[in-house]
Amino acid sequence: MPAPYSGSCNCGAVKATFGAEPVWVRQCWCIQCQKAAAGGPTNNALFFVKTMELTGDVAWAGYTAASGNEIEHGFCPTCGTPVFGRNSSRQGAWVVRLGFLDGDHGLKPGSAIWLDEAPKWAVVDPAIEQFAGQPPLPPAT
């Protein structure tokens, strides 16, 4: 299903529409994402903020990653649904948790990253691109 994509949290307080295709869709197995996703990977799509229309308030909590980048996780302050991620190395783009998107959006990971930190039981689709750590940054637009 092509853009636009829409999303909402569990209680409907946070809603967004994304007017363009994502830059990428990935599964992330870093330790921090495993903590955020109850032990599995996060599944994310990177969208440019300029393509997004957001309604509702998003709460943010962050930390400094081993890379030195500032990482923030955005969530609905009412129901706690994970919604976004921001990384200081990706100005103007946020990751959107695939679970935030509504309906059968058709987006699926094209790559899995930080596989060196994945648990031994992790199952990764062998058909997608795989990276031991962080892949190169996408070109800025």
Is there a domain that residue 73 lies in? Answer: yes
Is there a domain that residue 105 lies in? Answer: yes
* DSSP code, position 37: T
Tell me: pLDDT of 138 over 70.
Answer: no
**Domains held by the chain: number:** 1
**Domain harbouring 33, CATH code:** 3.90.1590.10
pLDDT digits (tens, 9 = 90+) for 26-54: 999 999 889 988 999 999 999 999 999 99
DSSP labels, 91-115: TTEEEEEGGGB-S------SEEE-G
Residue 47 contacts residue 20 (beta carbons within 8 Å): yes
Check residue 139 and give its pLDDT: 60
Is there a domain that residue 67 lies in? Answer: yes
Is there a domain that residue 125 lies in? Answer: yes
Is there a domain that residue 136 lies in? Answer: no
pLDDT digits (tens, 9 = 90+) for 70-117: 999 999 999 999 999 999 988 999 999 999 999 999 999 999 999 999
* Count of CA atoms in the C-beta half-sphere (13 A) of 62: 14
Bridge-based pairing state of the strands 52-55 and 59-64: unpaired
Domain of 62?
13-130
Is there a domain that residue 141 lies in? Answer: no
